[in-house]
Chain A
Amino acid sequence: MMASSYNAKEEDANHPGAANHAGAGVVKSKKPDNTAFKQQRLPAWQPILTAGTVLPAFFVIGLIFIPIGIGLYVTSNNIKEFEIDYTGANIDNPCYNCAKNFSWNSTAQCVCAVTFTLEQPFESNVFMYYGLSNFYQNHRRYVKSRDDSQLNGDRSALTNPSKECEPYRRSEGSPIAPCGAIANSLFNDTLQLYHIDSNGTLNEIPLVKKGIAWWTDKHVKFRNPGGNNNLTVAFQGTSKPVNWKKPVFELDPEDPENNGFINEDFIVWMRTAALPTFRKLYRIIQKKASTTPTLPSGKYVLNVTYNYPVLSFDGRKRMILSTISWMGGKNPFLGIAYITVGSICFFLGVVLLIIHHKYDNRNNSADIPN
């Protein structure tokens, strides 16, 4: 890029000179062209920091950043978010027993019910997340332990997964589908939410599982081998990941369209989180047609089918309910940051202005020597 721009200029500069000499019919002079570029006389702007430029800059930054920060902060505060830990690390937690008695071999399912109270009603669509802490989904070896070709429906990769998947590549002689550590550690707790109305009866809240994955992931990146018909046949000759209880084509017993590699829970899991404390979208609670809030304030019960052990690595599991806004989820940091920076700039501006006015000596500042 550099070279090309230089050449262009050189030619530009040479052409008039060449034309002149061609007319005279003499040997071309070696005299360098007297162009601003070649003689290094290009008009240049020299940013000299003076009170006249610095002070307005501080004020402008302050005046722009503070409103932005306030806007972000107010928006973030208007977002309603509820978070409850159901790891069962403490004895008073309802899931303590399930966590304590967890065994890979048991076939019986351990269910625990966590009750909580929403102080404020949640308007609009509510997003239900599960959150994990101290879970390094961004570990270098974990991140690459997958086979994207296999997940894209490639048949040869299905029967012969990439070596990156080791040691979760083959199990009992047959290739694992989906292979790799990410898939093997798929989050498989089942969460159900019940609202306890004034009568004390439990009303199950409908949780929508469609639309939680990125569109490009679901339709481009993840595909089932041999289309979506008869996944049992398509996945014949492969074995399920070692930690899974069900094969990949039986992930969703209710919706056959949501099975195989295009299962949305699976897709969400496969998009590895950047930080060790993260949340992943689990379900969406859609806004009701009526004027009643999506989640009215009151008592709720969270039914957890406890399949996912995290205590071994000192992890934590949370269920999060949150509304969203144009700026995403609840996060006061950006607003505070903008307000802080804007305030500092404004304050500095004021201080410098005072200094400038107090100590400004017109005679000296008139001509600043280079």
Chain B
Amino acid sequence: MSSEKLLTLKTRDGEEFVLEEAMAFRSLTIKNATSNYTINNTPLPINVEINTMIKVIEYWKKHSERGISEDELMNFDKKFFKLLHNSELFDLVVAVDYLADKGLSNAACEQVLDKITGKTPQEIRDIFNINNDCTPTSLGG
């Protein structure tokens, strides 16, 4: 086991897990929280559920790997997002915004963008299962 500093985090749904501090600090939110936080082994609460956190850590881990090429990262990202259901993507987008990790946030938003670009409003509603509560004003062609 490495002698790196470890951090204990507790998710919104009560799960506790341990992470290397350097990796956890990819999240500005976690980083700022620990700077005001006296270490006494109390887990740091984070407003994310364990399912989503697992995905985030999987992404962080890959992007922290030493010696990994741009191409390999691109392939990983493609596969990573492809395997997400839209509901998981939603949770990820919201969680990453909360965690304030710009890199992952940008990547997740790009995914949403890809699904939206070139689609009519009804197609977008069908993809994301959204109810149409708009009054007819401007049309979207």
- Specify whether A and B are partners: no
Residues of B within 8 A of A (CB): none
